[in-house]
Structure 1
Amino acid sequence: MSTIDSETRKYKSLLNTSTILNANLDLYQLLPLIMLYSKDLLEAEASSLFLLEEKDGFLYCEVALGEKGEIVQKYARLEPGQGIAGWVAKEKKAIILEDAYTDPRFNPALDQKTGFRTRSLACVPLYIADKVIGTLEILNKSDNRSFEASDVEVLNSLSEMAAIAIKNAQAHETLKKRVLELRLLYEFEKLTVAEKSIHELGNWLLDKVLEFLEAKAGTIYIADPTLEVLRVLAARGIPEEAIHNIQVPYGEGISGWVAKEKQSLLIQNLDEDPRYDKSAKYKFEANSLISAPLLFRGELLGVISVNNKYSGFAFTHADLEMLGAIANRLSVTIKNANLFHKVLDTDRELKRAREVMHKILPSSLPYVGGLEFGVQHIPYDNVGGDFYNILKLDENRSAVLIADVSGHGLSASVVATVIHTVVSTFDSETLSSPSKFFTALNYALYNKLAGNFLTAFYGIIHTGTNTLSYTNAGHNPPILYRKSEGSSLHLETKGKLVGVIPDLFFEEYVTSFQPQDRLVLYTDGLTEHSNTDRTRRYSEDLLSLAVRNHSQTHSAEAAETLIKECRTYCHRSDFEDDVTLLIVDRV
């Protein structure tokens, strides 16, 4: 084959490679592809891709193909300027060597560890804009040939394509991980409010973290501040019979270091890290690890560590940031569990909580001209997080509020008490606007609910104009039944949970509320009720049907009937959550 034909083939291959690389947004599939094309296109025996660890300033081998590639990937960690890849990254210049051992910049240490003999090589920097993100290196041209200047040109072209593809894939990976992180935290929030034990939460969370980070092994430790040791709460990758016997003193090993220093840690190569105990009884399969402390206002509650990626790749700072966010949420949960379980064991405190909740709820429904009310309130455990209120604002306007604090029992009732106190401080202007009401409530409660959140519906009924203005903050949409039309309308909005995200704005809606209309507000304890084996569940559709069937019944009697029908349908009287049902009739 002529030189021209060979060069033409190379550049055709580059065009095909560019298309394939930019069509692939999975970073862990993309990087080996880059190396495979580099190796095959330039007829090399081996290739390696080094990425620059931006925070710590060193280069680590993310992918190595060819003979002894796994060993290269395991041990290659270079400081800027060290070795050929380190020199290329520091100087931002390509290099080609016919005989590597004659160049003082070449570091033979990897050859000695792997048994691979480097003869010739070519190495180019990887750029994103003007910033070096790593290096691309090919080793030993086949048939004992040497690399030429034309090979470096092709390698440079390939590195430009690779850098763009890596940038796109990293952006995609970051977005995907952020979505996964939010989903995980949301699911964890729902499980937390179900008041599971801390061991159940720990095991569930560890499994989810490993799934999202695509890792095989990990451990959640709980701190024992008296003995200054870490004990295992949940673990994967450690024999189950050994879990209860493991104690890690503060300062010893990786997790002990994280506990003592109260700092997160990312390690690309454990064998090169002095904190790793190589004589430890239980070994890690892979060489990369991330670990984060569980801290609550500076107090060490434990440590979470994850290692052994399925892909064999190193963890990134994006992985560590995700683990840190999870660690923060878990810390709050552990602290709350410790506090609330102490309170739950005290009968006197339960009695006080019941007394407080009775004061929060209206002792009797107010008289409002043009309106009639019916209510059923059934706390799960004598006290709960559901509450409601009816406020007469003036001669024509009345406000209705129904709210559900996440969870149930004493912890939810404590939060409900706090929220009731906050609402009692609102002025008439705030109470007269559903949007302002929730904006003010969210501002007052953000970051102050100790891991809980609030869903609520707040509406203002104007009997003079026959209208209902309302805002829904993540609550079950109330049912507005129009008797004259025989139709039901679900008052759905896009409102967010209260107390979770700062500086929220809540949209306000207005609909007609004519004589003979009925507004039915409820909490999810009603529509999530089921029989013992979960094969029969009450639903929003069944509730809507019941509202229609009993539209002629007085509001107070209708509220009792709807609760009764729910229990009858599920063949079960005891609810598993707080239940509140409030009916408002326009008469």
Structure 2
Amino acid sequence: MTDPQTSLSKFRSLLHISSILNANLDLHQLLPLIMLYSKDLLEAEASSLFLLENDEFLYCEVALGEKGEIIQEYARLELGEGIVGMVAKEKKPIALEDAYLDSRFNPSMDKRTGFKTKSLICVPLFVEERLIGTLEVINKTNHRIFNDADLEYLISLSEVAATAIQNANTKDSLDKRILELSLLYEFEKLSVSEKSLTELGKWMLNRVLEYLGATSGTIYLANTTKRELGILAAKGIPEDAYDQIKVPFGTGVSGWVAEKKESLLIHNLDMDPRYNKLSPYKFESKSLISAPLIYQNELLGVISINNKVSGYAFQHSDLDLLTNIAARLSNTIKNAQLFHQIVDTGKELNRAKTIMQKIMPSILPQANGLSYGVSHIPLEQVGGDFYDVTELEDSKFSILIADISGHGLSAAVLAAMSHMVLKNFEPDIKLSPSQFLTTLNHMLYGKLAGNFLTAFYGIIDLKNNTILCANAGHHAPFLLDKNDLSITQLDVKGKILGLIPDLYYEEKTFPFTVGNRLVMFTDGITEHMSKDHNKRYDEDLFQKAILKSLSMDAQKSADDLIQAAKDYVGSNDFADDVTILLVDRIKSD
């Protein structure tokens, strides 16, 4: 019988525990807290918390021992196995005064840990009638026995704990989804690179480890002829050992993933028969996740990650994240392999460079009344940015700046194709920005292999001191007036080219008089970032730099704008192609 004062104190403790648990959304901090509070509330020597994995088995990563220390157990139980498994299977609490007198009790854990279980209470954890795990307390202190009141307290605590765990899992899933999208965006931007495959592998592995919160892992490449895996990049294995390590398909953890082409989560490597305990290079932790790298049913390799920074085991949400990352990683590796097959010969890259040199005008058309400044920096040897200035008729000049999504050789090929298409337009189409972009979109629709093109196109009329222009999803150029030091953006909008058929583009006319400067650019300049991603150059900073360089001639200003971006973030290496085209309206001779 529990006295009223003790009951009141216990339920006050439960209210306090509830507020703390529901304020803590980090699962790895939450689980030890739940065990600590259950141990203290029930005045027990030890506690454990098992979570249900995939509705198939129960898993206990940590337990709280009699001295209050966290014990890494990595214990797995089938439903119906032992007291914990039976509670999960029957979805009912179990309380035992003497565990060894009950046939359901499994003493193997005691034998392994040296801990002597006497009495215990184990209750199921529910979220809206859905079982998520079990909570257990063992041995009431001072040789006492748990009573009915203790069972009520633990059931009440289990309700609070289950809700807190569910909230933490939801937050964890959202956080991982955000990380996944962020990393996939980085891979998308990297899709074709002139970095060696080894350099690319190191970069990709480091990013995956950072996003998964782990410190060691390996990316293997598959040799399907020899049916073995070789190391592309690794953390935790010396580089001079890479060449000696070959993993046959079907052997070890990574070999199993390669053979089965299935992702794998292992909570406890010591208990898994696939783990090679004789390997000279040991994993730092007992938990591991691994996924195959597959491109259109072709096995490219395997990625394995272990040693979580938190010290906890990987969960299925981690495996889902790695599996999704592996799918995009496969595309990146395949693109890199194909790219280097071409680049190694040197012929296709040189041909692409020659084509891009022809696309980019080496000399812009001289005009009595116009002055130009150009700065073009492809991310790699070739890129997807291009620009053009063409003399049309009757003191009219067309101006164009365009940007193919992506960069490198693939973007250069698409840029070359787009440029060839527009160069064959009839003269009357070139005189109408609206008709020009509408026709270009019609010609490019379905031909860019999933990529797209942004472009700004205008007609400068020197007689009427105007610029007639249209925009297809490109950053609006800045228009400056040196006389009153004002700066505006040409407000004309339109959708990107090549993805949607039958679009119509509006066109607008703006004054373009002596003393005006037009600044056209691609987003490589306004998305420039420091190497640690802590500083980013944006349009506001770019606009200030434009005003600062207003007194310079056009070419010096273009060069200065590039340098200003580099200086601000402290890096000369852009993450995308960069193009700036300045057109000054000057007095006629």
Q: TM-score normalised to the size of structure 1?
A: 0.79
Closer/same/farther in 2, CA of residues 421 and 268 from structure 1, 3 Å limit? farther
Instruction: Return the offset for 1:211.
Output: 2.7
Give the conservation status (yes or no) of the 8 Å contact 1:64–1:73. Answer: yes
Closer/same/farther in 2, CA of residues 461 and 424 from structure 1, 3 Å limit? closer
Unaligned runs of 5+ in 2: 530-535
Instruction: Return the offset for 1:338.
Output: 1.7
Report the counterpart of residue 18 of structure 2 in structure 1: 18
Q: Distance in 1 between matches of 2:100 and 2:316?
A: 35
Report the counterpart of residue 515 of structure 1 in structure 2: 512
1:548 aligns with 2:537: no
Q: Distance in 1 between matches of 2:59 and 2:257?
A: 22
Give the conservation status (yes or no) of the 8 Å contact 1:229–1:247. Answer: yes
Closer/same/farther in 2, CA of residues 220 and 507 from structure 1, 3 Å limit? farther
Instruction: Return the offset for 1:124.
Output: 1.1
Closer/same/farther in 2, CA of residues 196 and 158 from structure 1, 3 Å limit? same
Question: Structure 2 counterpart of 1:18, which letter?
Answer: S
Give the share of equivalent positions with the same residue, in percent: 51
Mean CA deviation greater in 62-71 or 282-291: 62-71
Once the two structures are superposed, residues 493-527 of structure 1 have per-residue CA deviations (whole angstroms, 9 ceiling, x without a partner) of 9999999xx999x9999986223254321246778
Q: Distance in 2 between matches of 1:585 and 1:215?
A: 53
Give the conservation status (yes or no) of the 8 Å contact 2:300–2:330. Answer: yes
Instruction: Return the offset for 1:192.
Output: 5.8
Once the two structures are superposed, residues 392-415 of structure 1 have per-residue CA deviations (whole angstroms, 9 ceiling, x without a partner) of 99999978442155344x344124
Q: Please list, as runs of the form range in 1=range in 2, the aligned pairs for 1:64-463 lying within 5 A after superposition.
A: 64-67=63-66, 73-190=72-189, 195-357=194-356, 374=372, 376=374, 378=376, 380=378, 383-388=382-387, 400-408=400-408, 410-417=409-416, 432=434, 444=446, 448=450, 456-458=454-456
Closer/same/farther in 2, CA of residues 193 and 114 from structure 1, 3 Å limit? same
Q: Distance in 1 between matches of 2:440 and 2:169?
A: 38
Mean CA deviation greater in 356-365 or 209-218: 356-365
Closer/same/farther in 2, CA of residues 12 and 251 from structure 1, 3 Å limit? same
RMSD: 4.7
Closer/same/farther in 2, CA of residues 513 and 97 from structure 1, 3 Å limit? same
Closer/same/farther in 2, CA of residues 238 and 529 from structure 1, 3 Å limit? closer
Closer/same/farther in 2, CA of residues 362 and 51 from structure 1, 3 Å limit? same
Instruction: Return the offset for 1:83.
Output: 1.7
Q: Distance in 2 between matches of 1:422 and 1:162?
A: 64
Mean CA deviation greater in 455-464 or 71-80: 455-464
Instruction: Return the offset for 1:152.
Output: 1.4
Unaligned runs of 5+ in 1: 531-536
Instruction: Return the offset for 1:308.
Output: 1.8
Q: Distance in 1 between matches of 2:139 and 2:443?
A: 68
Closer/same/farther in 2, CA of residues 45 and 444 from structure 1, 3 Å limit? farther
Closer/same/farther in 2, CA of residues 188 and 241 from structure 1, 3 Å limit? same
Give the conservation status (yes or no) of the 8 Å contact 1:100–1:106. Answer: yes
Give the conservation status (yes or no) of the 8 Å contact 2:468–2:510. Answer: yes
Give the conservation status (yes or no) of the 8 Å contact 1:258–1:265. Answer: yes
SS of equivalent residue, structure 2 residue 174? helix
Question: Structure 2 counterpart of 1:74, which letter?
Answer: E
Question: Structure 2 counterpart of 1:238, which letter?
Answer: I
Q: Distance in 2 between matches of 1:445 and 1:26?
A: 47
Q: Distance in 1 between matches of 2:317 and 2:442?
A: 34
Q: Distance in 2 between matches of 1:426 and 1:313?
A: 63
Mean CA deviation greater in 435-444 or 201-210: 435-444
Closer/same/farther in 2, CA of residues 118 and 347 from structure 1, 3 Å limit? closer
Once the two structures are superposed, residues 74-122 of structure 1 have per-residue CA deviations (whole angstroms, 9 ceiling, x without a partner) of 3521112222222212221111111222222222221222222211111
Once the two structures are superposed, residues 107-147 of structure 1 have per-residue CA deviations (whole angstroms, 9 ceiling, x without a partner) of 22212222222111111111111211111111111122221
Report the counterpart of residue 534 of structure 1 in structure 2: none
SS of equivalent residue, structure 2 residue 29? helix
Give the conservation status (yes or no) of the 8 Å contact 1:74–1:287. Answer: no
Give the conservation status (yes or no) of the 8 Å contact 2:404–2:454. Answer: yes
Mean CA deviation greater in 208-217 or 433-442: 433-442
Give the conservation status (yes or no) of the 8 Å contact 1:422–1:441. Answer: yes
Q: Distance in 2 between matches of 1:285 and 1:210?
A: 14
Give the conservation status (yes or no) of the 8 Å contact 1:72–1:114. Answer: no
SS of equivalent residue, structure 1 residue 481? strand
Instruction: Return the offset for 1:305.
Output: 0.7
Q: TM-score normalised to the size of structure 2?
A: 0.79
Instruction: Return the offset for 1:43.
Output: 0.8
Report the counterpart of residue 30 of structure 1 in structure 2: 30
Q: Distance in 2 between matches of 1:12 and 1:398?
A: 78
Once the two structures are superposed, residues 46-96 of structure 1 have per-residue CA deviations (whole angstroms, 9 ceiling, x without a partner) of 111111112x61110133111499997535211122222222122211111
Give the conservation status (yes or no) of the 8 Å contact 1:123–1:135. Answer: yes
Q: Distance in 2 between matches of 1:584 and 1:266?
A: 59
Q: Distance in 1 between matches of 2:29 and 2:128?
A: 23
Question: Structure 1 counterpart of 2:454, which letter?
Answer: A
Instruction: Return the offset for 1:423.
Output: 8.0
Q: Distance in 1 between matches of 2:316 and 2:272?
A: 17
Instruction: Return the offset for 1:288.
Output: 1.5
Give the conservation status (yes or no) of the 8 Å contact 1:195–1:407. Answer: no
Closer/same/farther in 2, CA of residues 141 and 393 from structure 1, 3 Å limit? farther
Q: Distance in 2 between matches of 1:316 and 1:186?
A: 24
Instruction: Return the offset for 1:162.
Output: 0.8
Instruction: Return the offset for 1:28.
Output: 0.7
Q: Distance in 1 between matches of 2:62 and 2:325?
A: 29
SS of equivalent residue, structure 1 residue 582? strand
Question: Structure 1 counterpart of 2:18, which letter?
Answer: S
Question: Structure 1 counterpart of 2:511, which letter?
Answer: Q
Report the counterpart of residue 470 of structure 1 in structure 2: 471
Q: Distance in 1 between matches of 2:544 and 2:276?
A: 60
Instruction: Return the offset for 1:442.
Output: 11
Report the counterpart of residue 489 of structure 1 in structure 2: 488
1:51 aligns with 2:27: no
Closer/same/farther in 2, CA of residues 99 and 525 from structure 1, 3 Å limit? closer
Question: Structure 1 counterpart of 2:326, which letter?
Answer: A
Count of residue pairs the alignment pairs up? 559
Instruction: Return the offset for 1:485.
Output: 4.1
Q: Distance in 2 between matches of 1:385 and 1:342?
A: 20
Give the conservation status (yes or no) of the 8 Å contact 1:250–1:260. Answer: yes
Closer/same/farther in 2, CA of residues 292 and 507 from structure 1, 3 Å limit? farther
